């Protein structure tokens, strides 16, 4: 089986490819534009496999997409390529519109031009398309109405709708999944957990938006990778599947868990929780995300294997042992600073 993974050099895409290459019957084509957040190192030994091929291309480039699909003739496309950082979308929404909406449309059209009815198109999305929950609201399920509240989530909602429309209108064999917040090794140090780890290691203040009461469901990236393969190969055509980690935590609880793990690794600097600092909240900050994974549990017999308390400690230790990687990124100025302030500036005018 040949699988095309878009965005395969990213945090989740690389985990997917590592999982796929472990199966000797799967050949993988990684299509990636290698934007600022790409981490080819995360592919590990997969890059040296005879069953791995790389295509340096952008999903907005229709000619490149036609060439790649014609050359490789994949049986499954797992579409992960996306701009994904909410704060960046606040400061510069156009890149999210171009990649997440236009890029997805061009990829769907390339698939349609290939005219292969058996080609399975798996679109990977986010729970943020459903909007914000109160502490007492039921968790998101596949029937929850869309209510995106940031440029990022709006762009992903639009791409979800495009995939469904191309399935209904043109008969493409599509399936979708919406995941909760991922964490684990190789996550680019602009997201909450790696930012907290890197700053705590350096003894810098740990910025927590608002009061830290915002709740997220945390999903280990390796669990997500296995779930995605189940959806891609066994999910019902036209259906969507919510993928969660059964690990709702406030941002403040996450910060305390990171600090506790670092207290064990670097006890001389304990308690790291003294570094926690509350900063002005992000514009339009969703209060809570929560996933109801009943469908994927029952239909595809998938459940997460990682417990948050253990896996977050392992993640902290991984970053502790891979300082050269994230320090180079921060030194290059592509991560580490506060983003998402553009809306606040506009509102004050």
Mean pLDDT of 223-241: 98
Between 313 and 333, name the one with better pLDDT: 313
pLDDT at 125 over 80: yes
- pLDDT, one tens digit per residue, over 92-119 is 999 999 999 999 999 999 999 987 778 9
**Where do the domains of the chain lie, and which CATH numbers do they carry?**
2-180+219-245+289-305 (3.40.50.720)
pLDDT of res. 282: 80
Given this model, what pLDDT does residue 334 score?
60
Residue-level pLDDT at 311: 98
Is 335's pLDDT higher than 70? no
Which pLDDT belongs to residue 81?
A: 98
Over residues 207-225, the mean pLDDT reads 97
Q: What is the pLDDT of residue 285?
A: 86
Q: Is the pLDDT of residue 222 over 90?
A: yes
**pLDDT at position 116:** 79
pTM, two decimal places? 0.94
pLDDT (0 to 100) of residue 342: 56
Q: Which residues are catalytic?
A: 127-128, 152
pLDDT digit string, tens, across residues 139-155: 999 999 999 999 999 99
Average pLDDT, integer, range 78-88: 93
Residues 6+ apart with CB under 8 A from 282: 86, 87, 90, 209, 340
Q: What pLDDT score does 349 carry?
A: 38
Integer angstrom CA distances of residue 349 from 228, 283, 343, 344 = 44, 15, 10, 9
Q: Tens of pLDDT along 190-200?
A: 999 999 999 99
Task: Sort strands 27-32 and 248-250 into parallel, antiparallel or unpaired.
Answer: unpaired
Show the tokens assigned to 121.
């198109």
Average pLDDT score over residue span 265-273: 95
- Looking at the chain, the whole-number percentage of residues with pLDDT higher than 90 is 90
- Two tokens at 87? 């704060």
pLDDT at 341: 56
- The arithmetic mean of pLDDT across residues 258-279, rounded, is 97
In this predicted model, which residue has the larger pLDDT, 334 or 290?
Answer: 290
The pLDDT assigned to 118 comes to 85
12-16, 81-85, 299-303: which has the minimum mean pLDDT? 81-85
- In degrees to the nearest 10, what's the CA dihedral of 343, 139, 304, 219? 10
* Mean confidence (pLDDT) of the chain: 94
Determine the length of the chain.
349
CA–CA separation, 77 vs 310, rounded Å?
33
Does the pLDDT value for residue 348 go beyond 90?
Answer: no
Q: Count CB neighbours of 141 within 10 A.
A: 15
Burial class of 285 by CB neighbour count within 10 A (0 to 12, 13 to 18, 19+)? middle
**Average pLDDT rounded to a whole number, residues 263-283:** 94
């Amino acid at each position: 089986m040949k699988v095309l993974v878009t965005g395969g050099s990213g945090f989740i895409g690389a985990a997917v490819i590592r999982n796929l290459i472990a199966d000797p019957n799967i050949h993988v084509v990684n299509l990636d534009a290698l934007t600022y957040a790409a981490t080819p190192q995360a592919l590990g030994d997969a890059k040296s496999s005879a069953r791995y091929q790389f295509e340096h291309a952008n999903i907005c480039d229709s000619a490149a997409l036609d060439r790649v699909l014609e050359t490789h003739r994949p049986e499954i496309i797992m579409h992960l390529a996306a701009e994904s950082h909410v704060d960046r979308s606040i400061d510069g929404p156009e890149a999210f519109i171009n990649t997440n909406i236009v890029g997805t449309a061009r990829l769907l059209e390339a698939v349609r031009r290939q005219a292969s009815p058996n080609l399975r198109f798996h679109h990977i999305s986010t729970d943020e398309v459903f909007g914000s929950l109160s502490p007492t609201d039921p968790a998101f399920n596949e029937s929850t109405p869309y209510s995106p509240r940031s440029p990022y989530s709006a762009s992903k909602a639009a791409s979800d709708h495009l995939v469904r429309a191309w399935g209904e209108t043109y008969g493409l064999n599509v399936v979708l999944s919406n995941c909760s917040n991922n964490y684990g090794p190789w996550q680019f140090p602009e997201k909450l957990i790696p930012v907290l780890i890197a700053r705590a290691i350096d003894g810098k203040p740990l910025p927590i938006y608002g009061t830290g009461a915002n709740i997220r469901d945390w999903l280990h990236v390796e669990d997500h990778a296995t779930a995605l393969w189940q959806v891609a190969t066994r999910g019902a055509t036209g259906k969507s599947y919510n993928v969660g980690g059964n690990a709702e935590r406030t941002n403040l609880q996450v910060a305390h868990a990171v600090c506790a793990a670092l207290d064990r690794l670097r006890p001389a600097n304990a308690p790291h929780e003294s570094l926690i600092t509350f900063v002005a909240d992000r514009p339009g900050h969703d209060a809570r995300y929560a996933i109801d994974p009943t469908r994927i549990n029952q239909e595809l017999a998938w459940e997460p294997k990682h417990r948050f308390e253990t896996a977050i400690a392992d993640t902290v230790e991984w970053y502790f042992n891979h300082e050269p990687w994230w320090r180079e990124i921060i030194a290059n100025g592509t991560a580490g600073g506060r983003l998402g302030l553009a809306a606040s500036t506009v509102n004050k005018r």
